[in-house]
Amino acid sequence: MFSQGVFRKTFADTGTSLVLSAIGLILFVVMFTWAMLHMGTEVLNFVSRVPFIQKIFEMSLGIKVSGDISINVLFAVCFTHGVVMLLIWSVMIATATRVTVGEMEKGTADMLLSLPLNRTEIFVSTSCVWGFAALVLAACPLVGIAVGRQIFITDEVVTLSRFVAPTINLGCLNLAVGSLACMIGTLLQRRSMAVGVVVGVTFVSVVLNFLEPFLESLKPWRFLSLLTYFKPVETVRDESWPVASMVTLLAMAFSFWLIGLIVFRRKDVPAV
């Protein structure tokens, strides 16, 4: 069920970009914590005075913005920050489409699939790599907050344990995005097309999540947005564990992955 050779090779191929992305993410979150520590309250006070901007913030964060938001809630914003999401999803999509559709497009799939490995082994081994990437990237915001807290010592109290639930929730979200990319990759013949489709789906997901509080007609469709199941600011504010959201994301991830596996096992690999 698992090929060490394929795992090691795929890991070596993606390792550098994963490490660089993780370092980039951590650095960004460290800077974000610095900014929040120094300017967060002022920004929120300003935002709460301008109704239009306040509305935009509420749409993005999913909570009512006011000047008395705690520092922990402010830090939780980094989990849904555009830069963080963009970086994480880019790495996830690139890694998850690399072997299936990427190798077919490059013509190296011939070499890989004519080895004495069954397709399940190849799929499982490569899935382990992007699954690992999903978890590493999910941990980056937490690590960034911890490093930021360590460097920029202030009077503010930042409780790291409050960020564990959003970290696990982000891991589940990353697995869902990775398995979606993996599934789409098995359904198409061109990697560029697969990446385009996954980017399209995630973009629609973001837009749906953003507009849904305003447009009543979108409410019945909110369950389709991946971000419906990832509300870190709410989670940190309420100190809750979004178990239902995590289970939903994991169920999605497993379904996408299973469909991808079934398709990949039966897929024709034509000559390039």
Partner 1 sequence: MSVIITANLCKRYGRQEVLHNLNLEIGSGQLVGFLGPNGAGKTTTIRILLGLLRATSGDAHVFGKSVERFGKQIRHEIGYLPGDVHFYSNMTGRATLDFLARCRRRDCRAEILRLADVLDLDLRKSVRKYSTGMRQKLGLIQALMHRPQLLILDEPTNGLDPLVRKSLFEELKSVIQDGRSVVFSSHSLNEVEQLCDQVIILRSGEIVEQQSIEVLKSKALRRVEFAFCEEQLQANSLLQANPLPSALQISSRSPGLIKGTWTGGMEALLSWLQPLQVTDLIVERPDLNDLFMTYYSRQRGLSD
Binding segment toward partner 1, per CB under 8 A, in 5-13, 94-102, 165-173, 253-261 = 5-13
Site string for partner 1, 189-228 (x = CB under 8 A): ----------------------------------------
Largest Cα–Cα distance of the chain, in whole Å?
66
**Could you give the CA distance from residue 1 to residue 107 in angstroms, rounded to a whole number?**
24
- Smallest gap from Cβ 114 to partner 1, in A, equals 4
Q: Is 5 helix (H, G, I), strand (E, B) or coil?
A: helix
Task: Please identify, using beta-carbon distances, which residue of 113 and 204 lies nearer to partner 1.
Answer: 113
E strand map for 131-200: none
Site string for partner 1, 100-139 (x = CB under 8 A): ------xxx-xx-xxxxxx---------------------
CA-CA distances (angstroms) from residue 227 to 2, 51, 58, 66, 207?
32, 24, 15, 23, 10
Candidates 68, 155, 216, 268: give the one binding partner 1 (CB under 8 A): 268
**Could you give the CA distance from residue 158 to residue 145 in angstroms, rounded to a whole number?**
9
Q: Is 243 helix (H, G, I), strand (E, B) or coil?
A: helix
How far is Cα of residue 170 from the mean position of the Cα atoms in its chain?
A: 6
Residue 13 found at the interface with partner 1 (CB under 8 A): yes
Task: Name the site residues for partner 1 (rule: CB under 8 A).
Answer: 3-6, 8-9, 13, 106-108, 110-111, 113-118, 266, 268-272
